Structure 1
Amino acid sequence: MKSIRTRSQERILELLNHIKQGISAQDMYIELRNGNQSMGLATVYRSLEALKLEGLVQVRTLANGEALYTLVKQDKHHLTCLQCGISIPIHQCPVHDLEIQLQTTHQFKVFYHTLEFFGLCNQCQAKASG
């Protein structure tokens, strides 16, 4: 059964599809406001939550606590530096088979998963030892 989305949810999906990268709810609010599309920040958060529960939007929380939203298209995996905040994508998925197994074993519908490793990038390691 397909759920009926609000105009606000449709605008957010259009924006996420257009920018094709992670964006915070606050930046999304600013982008939508700049595009003459009046929408309150609370509406942005409510719409994102509904889209997340529908399995259309995923959220990734950075080391600084900022949440970035993207469309659910593929699993995202990263190496994230705790010093400078650089985030390096990992293109292979080491837990794909586990996801399939968990869906079957627990009869749980997985929309997406994330995997993130935190540490120091090469440049920050060099600064620390230098």
Structure 2
Amino acid sequence: MKAQKTRSQEKIFHLLKTLARSLSAQDLYVELRRRKQTIGLATVYRSLEALKLQGVVQVRTLPSGESLYSLVQQDQHHLTCVHCGQSIPIDECPVHDLEERLEQSHHFKVYYHTLEFFGLCDRCHSLHREPLSN
């Protein structure tokens, strides 16, 4: 049985669906206010947490500590530069078979997963390449 969404959760769900991109809780709050939706920042955080627990919203935490929220539509995979913060989406996923095996062996319903690799993008790698020592 699915939990009934509150009005605040419905507003946030609709906004995430309309914008179709990941946003921080602060950005969601600002966008809701811009659209004349009266909702407090604490309510935005509570609603996002409830939607996450219902399995309809996923969260991705950046190296900076900022959390980005989006609707659960597909798994997310990224290459993220630890220097400039650039995040490059990737399509390949080596863990789908593992996910299915874990669901069966542990009787656990997986809503989504994230896979993120951290390193240096080509531009930052070129800028910070250290000369070879003799």
Quickly name the TM-score band, shorter chain normalised. over 0.9
Query: Which amino acid in 2 is paired with 1:80?
Result: T
Map 1:11-50 onto structure 2 (within 5 A): 11-50=11-50
CA distance in 1: counterparts of 2:109 and 2:95, whole angstroms? 16
- Displacement of 1:3: 1.6
Q: What TM-score, normalized to structure 1?
A: 0.97
In the alignment, structure 1 residue 65 sits paired with structure 2 residue 65: yes
**Structure 1 CA distance, aligned partners of 2:129 and 2:55?**
44
CA offsets per residue over residues 91-115 of structure 1, 9 Å max, x none?
0211000001001100111110000
Alignment gaps of 5+ in structure 1: none
Identity across the alignment (%): 63
Q: Give 5+ residue unaligned stretches, structure 2.
A: none
Superposition CA RMSD, Å: 0.9
Calculate the TM-score normalised by the size of structure 2. 0.95
| Count of matched residue positions in the alignment of Structure 1 and Structure 2 | 130
Aligned to 1:114: 114
Kept in 1: contact 2:2–2:54 (CA 8 A): no
The runs of at least 4 aligned residues of structure 1 exceeding 2 Å deviation read: none
CA contact (8 A) 2:77 2:114 kept: yes
